[in-house]
Homo-oligomer: A and B are copies of this chain.
Amino acid sequence: MTQTVSINNNQRLQLEPLSTPERLLLGPGPSNAHPAVLQAMNTPPLGHLDPAFLAVMDEIQSLLRYVWQTENPLTIAVSGTGTAAMEATIANAVEPGDVVLVGVIGYFGNRLVDMAGRYGADVRSITKPWGQVFSLEELRTALQTHRPTILALVHAETSTGACQPLEGVGELCREFGCLLLIDTVTSLGGVPIFLDEWGIDLAYSCSQKGLGCPPGASPFTMSPRAVEKLQQRRTKVANWYLDMTLLHKYWGSERVYHHTAPINMYYALREALRLIAEEGVENSWRRHQENVEYLWQSLEDIGLSLHVQREYRLPTLTTVRIPEGVDGKAIARQLLLEHNIEIGGGLGELAGQVWRVGLMGFNSRKENVDRLIEALQQVLPK
């Protein structure tokens, strides 16, 4: 080793080992991971082609099908956060020129519009005020007007706390010959989903919300109809990392190297999914619903009001209206720094108008509601 250049030590920080405050994460995500999940994540890594690791991948695939209620063979975890899995649905399903119709009821609908455009789609959108949802009639009219190849909707809008009803939408999409793409980032594990029954063709999610796992490996699935569109592409998928024509050879029976999986994230995801299978996904949905109703009641009891009409409220994420004259940012900061509780602020149209309170996965427990309400009572102006 000949080394003729001298070392630059400008950026050589001398640090202590990591030390962080213990927060209760009641924002829009991440939520706190289950202790057993953190423990699984800490297992020393295996190689990404080790037979013992391939078995872990197979278990993840089955359990993802279970929580999504689907039999889709192509059901995997993408090696990135939920946004990467979102991009994976678009990258694989969209060919340049495809008409993609996006229903925008909040921030993440807009993100789908931006992404689909980058993959060359002819993007059309329909919108509703943030906090509302589309009726089946509105969707029918839009499909008639735009005749899209793909209809993309957000099931659980993390920016508004509204739940888009999906019953009947799949039939509608079949009637108009288009694929149905659904964002389930804030619903998977916490909100009833029946992917196959509802005729959903493409879906993605994240690990750090309803599944109670740290972020970094993200659920992705494609129906056989969507796979058919993938197989008939005239152009390569415009994203190498997320190309399912390559990835399915790693996750499927061929086991061809594609990229080095985030091994420990998959350990964590397997444990999170295992815990849901143990609880039963319908019990997890029920738990989320019961605890959020307790949250709603508790918030109203201290004089706060909620942004979304009751029947469309998510069990995972609640938007609370910031009372007139209150500095929402200052309150959230006080909760964080004085009480170690994180809640979120509003995004986009709702910036400055609402707080966002998540009760997701391992965090969906009554004691967390009590802790939040107690802290809120201390920091809110009397």
* A residues with CB within 8 A of B: 1, 3, 5, 7-15, 17-18, 20-23, 25, 27, 29-30, 32-33, 36, 38-48, 50, 52-53, 56, 59, 62-63, 65-66, 69, 71, 79-84, 87, 111, 114-115, 117-119, 192, 194, 196-197, 206, 208, 214-217, 236-241, 257-265, 267-268, 270-271, 274, 277-278, 280-282, 285-286, 289, 315, 336, 342, 347
Minimum C-beta distance from A110 to chain B (A): 12
B259 near A11 with CB under 8 A, answer no
CB distance from A261 to the nearest CB of B (A): 7
- Of B62, B260, B282, the residue contacting A11 (CB under 8 A) is B62
Distance A1 CA – B5 CA, assembled complex (angstroms) = 67
Q: Which of B11, B69, B83 contacts A240 (CB 8 A)?
A: B83
With a CB–CB cut-off of 8 A, which chain B residues contact A52? 20-21
Query: Which residues of chain B come closer than 8 Å to A29, judged between CB atoms?
Result: 260
Are B263 and A15 neighbours in the complex by a CB distance under 8 Å? no
- Determine if A45 and B25 form an interchain contact, defined as CB atoms under 8 angstroms apart: yes
Q: How many copies does the complex hold?
A: 2
Are A3 and B192 in contact (CB-based, < 8 A)?
yes
Taking a contact as CB atoms closer than 8 A, the residue among B40, B82, B196, B271 that contacts A260 in the complex is: B82
By the criterion CB–CB under 8 Å, are A238 and B20 in contact?
no
User: Could you list 11 further interchain pairs (A-B, Cβ under 8 angstroms) beyond the known A22-B44, A30-B263, A87-B239?
Assistant: A9-B66, A11-B66, A13-B66, A13-B277, A20-B267, A50-B342, A79-B84, A80-B241, A118-B238, A208-B260, A262-B265
Q: Roughly how many angstroms separate A258 CA and B240 CA in the complex, as a whole number? A: 21
With A33-B45, A42-B41 known as contacts, the answer to whether A289 contacts B7 (CB < 8 A) is no
- Most B Cβ at <10 Å: residue of A22, A118, A206: A118
Measured between beta carbons, the chain B residues less than 8 angstroms from A69 are 5, 7-8
Point out the residues of chain B lying under 8 angstroms from A342, CB to CB: 46-47, 50
Of B18, B45, B87, the residue contacting A214 (CB under 8 A) is: B45
